[in-house]
Amino acid sequence: MVFYLRKNKPTAWKENVYAVYDIKTSIELEEITGYVGDKVDITAIITEDLTNKPVPGGTATLTIDYANKLSDGSLGASTYTDTVEVDADGKAVFKDVKLEYPGTYKYTVTYSGYPYNHHDEGINDYLSSEADSKLNILPLNTTTTSEDVSGTVGDKVDITADIVDQNGDPVQNGTAVLKVNGKEYTADVKNGTAVFEGVELPSESTEA
């Protein structure tokens, strides 16, 4: 609490002491779900704790901790951050945030605080605060196609597979597995294509 000394005019000077408070704030967030590569808007609503009214200023910083997956605890990639202004309605909107890696991650919004200085309302500063929620990033569904292959039993051939995601875009990387009569062949995926080399043709027609 801060005590503020105020002098009244225009009559004889009088000194009045008012109790002025630093007000705690809270941040409202939603759990976000989307697919890898999606761009989403993340909205934080900042309110003051006394009356639940919106806080009309300051900045908010978004942090997505891609280094730690909540879903399995394995290491991901880096950390994403962005800072925006809080509007008069107490909203901080982080626009076009790209969802980078599949998994469940924690995202955090940190509010800077705001020097409101409306002493006649009993308010000095709005204090900083922090809150977090979950970001669920789903892997894209994929479709794999290849042409029929014919030849003599025991021949070894190369088989090419085309792999696209649910948006029709080529899958850029990863590993593909081909199974023929219980035998597995692996190939790297590059720009939507996987080439399985030296696949031995079986003794009868089969689907791989």
Q: What would the two tokens of residue 75 be? A: 């290491």
| DSSP-derived 3-state class of residue 41 | strand
The 10s digit of each residue's pLDDT in 121-172 is 556 788 999 999 999 999 999 999 998 888 888 889 999 999 999 989 999 8
CA angle 111, 128, 70 (to 5 degrees): 55
- Please state, in angstroms and rounded to a whole number, the distance separating the CA atoms of residues 170 and 174: 11
What is residue 29's predicted lDDT score, i.e. its pLDDT? 98
Count Cα atoms within 13 angstroms, Cβ side, for 1: 6
What is residue 68's predicted lDDT score, i.e. its pLDDT? 78
Low-confidence stretches of the chain (pLDDT < 70) are: 1-20, 70-77, 117-123, 205-208
Q: What would the two tokens of residue 103 be? A: 């998994």
What is residue 177's predicted lDDT score, i.e. its pLDDT? 95
What is residue 149's predicted lDDT score, i.e. its pLDDT? 86
Q: What would the two tokens of residue 179 be? A: 């199974």
- Please state, in angstroms and rounded to a whole number, the distance separating the CA atoms of residues 126 and 131: 16
